[in-house]
Amino acid sequence: MDSKWLMGFIEASGCFSVVIRKSQNSVGYQTTADFTIKLPLSQKPFLEGIRDFFRAGKIYQNKNEAIFKVTRLDDVKALIGFFQKESFTTEEKKREFSVWKKCVEMMNSGLHLTPEGVLEIARQRDSIHFRNLWNKKNYCSLRVEIDPCHIYEKTHQLPEGCRLCWGEEFKQKLVNLPLKVTGGN
């Protein structure tokens, strides 16, 4: 498989994402870097070739499609090395890869094991794709679970990065209260 051709294919069909889901760990969330390519089920042998080329990832299938996924941190780091060496053509894919790589670096350094780290990874991740279009939790909804607004409501302060709390419903509750903006999340 030619690496230049593969980069073009990945530029068109590859998807960088970071999955944050509830967990029983001490932070309450598991953070996973995810690289995915989905193709019609008839193209599964092609995905097997990609898996063999990278020596990483797994292939899943459902009734209609085959899905190549790389989620193991060591495998993801190897992909990053390949992508950096080859480089993407479009500015959009370069940007997506850059943000994804930054999230992986934060996870590799252990930041995903702290509430603040999970929130920073979520904030970065939201710039890869517009999460409000998905049925997924965005930064603000995670922030409210990790760092609830009602705490700020009691102290009449809101964290500086909060977008959810500035929604109309919350504003109405606080309409006559003097608010200070803090430097927190």
Each residue of 142-165: pLDDT tens digit? Answer: 666 666 665 666 666 655 555 544
pLDDT at residue 165, as a whole number: 47
pLDDT at residue 49, as a whole number: 94
Q: Identify which has the larger pLDDT, 159 or 118.
A: 118
pLDDT at residue 132, as a whole number: 46
pLDDT surpasses 60 at 99? yes
Mean pLDDT of the chain: 80
Rounded Cα gap, residues 52 and 48, in angstroms: 6
pLDDT at residue 119, as a whole number: 85
pLDDT surpasses 60 at 92? yes
pLDDT at residue 42, as a whole number: 95
Give the start-to-end residue ranges of the domains of the chain. 3-124
Rounded Cα gap, residues 114 and 24, in angstroms: 14
- Contacts of residue 4, defined as CB under 8 A and 6 or more positions apart, other chains included, come to 86
Rounded Cα gap, residues 4 and 29, in angstroms: 37
- φ/ψ of residue 151, rounded to 5: -65, -40
pLDDT at residue 137, as a whole number: 62
* Range 161-179 average pLDDT: 49
**Other beta carbons less than 10 A from residue 139's beta carbon:** 24
Q: How confident is the model at residue 185 (pLDDT cuts 50, 70, 90)?
A: very low
Percent of all residues in the chain with a pLDDT value above 70, rounded to a whole number = 69
**Of the ranges 21-25, 122-126, 135-139, 144-148, which one carries the lowest mean pLDDT score?**
135-139
CA angle 148, 164, 136 (to 5 degrees): 90
Fold of 3-124: Endonuclease I-creI (3.10.28)
> Exposed e or buried b for every residue in 76-114, given b needs 16+ CB within 10 A?
bbebbeebeeeebeeeebeebbbbbbbbbebbeeebbee
Which H, E and C letters describe the chain, residue by residue? CCHHHHHHHHHHHEEEEEEEEECCCCCCEEEEEEEEEEEEHHHHHHHHHHHHHHCCCEEEECCCEEEEEECCHHHHHHHHHHHHHHCCCCHHHHHHHHHHHHHHHHHHCCHHHCHHHHHHHHHHHCCCCCHHHCCCCCHHHHHHHHCCHHHHHHHCEEECCCCHHHCHHHHHHCCCCCCEEECCC
pLDDT at residue 179, as a whole number: 45
Q: What is the pLDDT of residues 3-48, one digit of tens each?
A: 888 999 999 999 999 988 888 988 888 999 999 999 999 999 999 9
